[in-house]
Amino acid sequence: MKYNSQSSTNILRAGSLFLAVTAVMMPITSQYASAAEHKATVTLDPGTVIPVRLDDPLSSSQAQKGDTFSTTIRADRLGSLQIPAGSRVEGLVREAKPQKDKNPGVLDVSFRRLILPNGRSYAIEGSLIGLDGKSVDKKSDGRIVAKPAHRNDRLTYVGIGAGAGAVIGLFTKRTVEDAAIGGGLGYLFGALQKGDKRPSNVNLKSGTELGVRIDRRVTFSGSDSGSSASSSVDNSRYHKSLEGAGGGSRLTGANDIGVLVGDRNVTFSSNARPVNTANGVLVPIKPVLAALDIPFNFDTASQEMRLEGTQGTVRLAVNSSVATTDNKRVRLGSSAQRIHGVLYVPIKLFALLTGTEATYDRGSHTVLINGSDKTR
């Protein structure tokens, strides 16, 4: 077959047009593919078990009903479960009873929020479950699921043992409210007591591994795995509760405040962050004390905290603005508050504990504790 010059020119033009159109369409196609991938959803079905590690210690002797606590998800144990590394699960103390006489300490917890690395959070209904072979199965793709017999059980911690921190977990359909101290729990202790074991408090150390069983389906967007999206955590409940704290004070810039201990950033849970009031900044005490390595005890009967700082023992009661030391009383400017189980204290308390300045830098919305020259 013969081709004239005009035919050749037309073929070349058609080829150039095809390449041009392809060049234009390829990015568009890639964008659609990327968008489709970006909009992928992740679903956690009931019975799914998420292994987590406790971020801070938790004890039946100090915890209070309504306290929140934070756990970090074990990304290395999720198998095919597509939850971004660095995600957390927020827990709630449903009931806490300290050990008393022959009755063991009791700690009943649940889990209520999944928090992704970018700050977005999703309400969940989660229960405590053991990670042993009797409680869960590991699927071929690495996912962990509750065994059928343990799809509806509740795991409650009951402290029993000769040594401090000994813990026995009880699967029971009865809640702690149903099995009151001195009543229902009496039979639990009697059934478990063997040899010379005696009741103790439940003391869970930081890093303790827990299983979170999902009890109601939850779905979130795969796009939330990124780190640039803004947070959707609803802090309004505790913000509104803090209005009026310390004598009619109101909040300003509550979402923006951070805390530096020396040059280290302090991490707070999603619904318990520092807040600025008319009488000064209030800070959740536990995360800051952990960063300062300061021991902390809280007497539930007197609602008084006892702290062992570098300057000696400091005591402060909830709803009081005066801290006492071994030889003096110090005004803190605003009162310590307990909001939804979380203890908030004025920043002047940390200056009293460390013997250094604790100040609020308004320009950066940052609480500064321990100057860098004095940081341990």
For the chain, give the secondary structure using H, E and C.
CCCCHHHHHHHHHHHHHHHHHHHHHHHHHHHHHHHHHHCCEEEECCCEEEEEEECCCEECCCCCCCCEEEEEECHHHCCCCCCCCCCEEEEEEEEEECCECCECCEEEEEEEEEECCCCCEEEEEEEEECCCCCCEEECCCCCEEECHHHCCCEEEEECECCCCCCCEEEEECCCCCCCCCCCHHHHHHHHHCCCCCCECCCEECCCCEEEEEECCCEEEEHHHHCCCCCCCCCCHHHHHHHCCHHHHCCCCCCCCCEEEECCEECCCCCCCCCEEECCEEEEEHHHHHHHHCCCEEEECCCCEEEEEECCEEEEEECCCCEEECCCCEEECCCCCEEECCEEEEECHHHHHHHCCCEEEECCCCEEEECCCCCCC
Express each pLDDT in 219-259 by its tens digit. Answer: 887 555 443 333 333 444 444 445 444 444 444 444 478 99
pLDDT of residue 348: 93
Which whole number is the average pLDDT over 256-285? 85
pLDDT band at 264 (very low <50, low <70, confident <90, very high): confident
pLDDT-derived band of residue 168, with 50, 70 and 90 as boundaries? very low
> What's the pLDDT band for 163 if we cut at 50, 70, 90?
very low
- Report the pLDDT value the prediction gives residue 373, as an integer from 0 to 100: 41
pLDDT of residue 322: 93
Q: Write the pLDDT tens digit of every residue in 184-203.
A: 444 444 444 444 467 788 88
Rounded CA Rg of the chain: 27
Q: Give the pLDDT score at 133.
A: 87
Of the listed ranges 106-110, 269-273, 313-317, the one predicted with least confidence = 269-273
Range of weakest confidence among 48-52, 169-173, 288-292, 370-374: 169-173
| Between 374 and 276, the higher pLDDT residue | 276
Mean pLDDT of the chain: 74
What pLDDT is recorded for position 156?
81
**Is the predicted pLDDT of residue 162 greater than 50, yes or no?**
no
- Residue that wins the pLDDT comparison between 3 and 129: 129
Q: How sure is the predictor about 300, in pLDDT bands with cuts at 50, 70 and 90?
A: confident
Residue length of the chain: 376
Residue located via tokens 């209030």: 282
pLDDT at 177 over 70: no
Highest mean pLDDT: which range of 147-151, 190-194, 268-272: 147-151
Which of 4-13, 135-144, 282-291, 298-307 has the weakest average pLDDT?
Answer: 4-13
Which class is domain 236-369?
A: alpha beta
- Checking if the pLDDT of 164 tops 70, the result is no
Share of the chain above pLDDT 90, in %: 22
Euclidean distance between CA atoms 158 and 142, whole angstroms: 30
Whole-number pLDDT of residue 27: 52
Q: How far apart are CA 346 and CA 280, in angstroms?
A: 7
pLDDT on residue 196: 45
**Using 50, 70 and 90 to split pLDDT, how confident is the model at 134?**
confident
CATH 3.30.457.10 location in the chain: 236-369
Q: What is the pLDDT of residue 140?
A: 92
Higher pLDDT, 34 or 337: 337
Could you report the per-residue pLDDT of 45-87, keeping only the tens digit for each? 999 999 999 988 888 888 888 888 889 999 899 988 888 888 8
Mean pLDDT within 128-144: 90
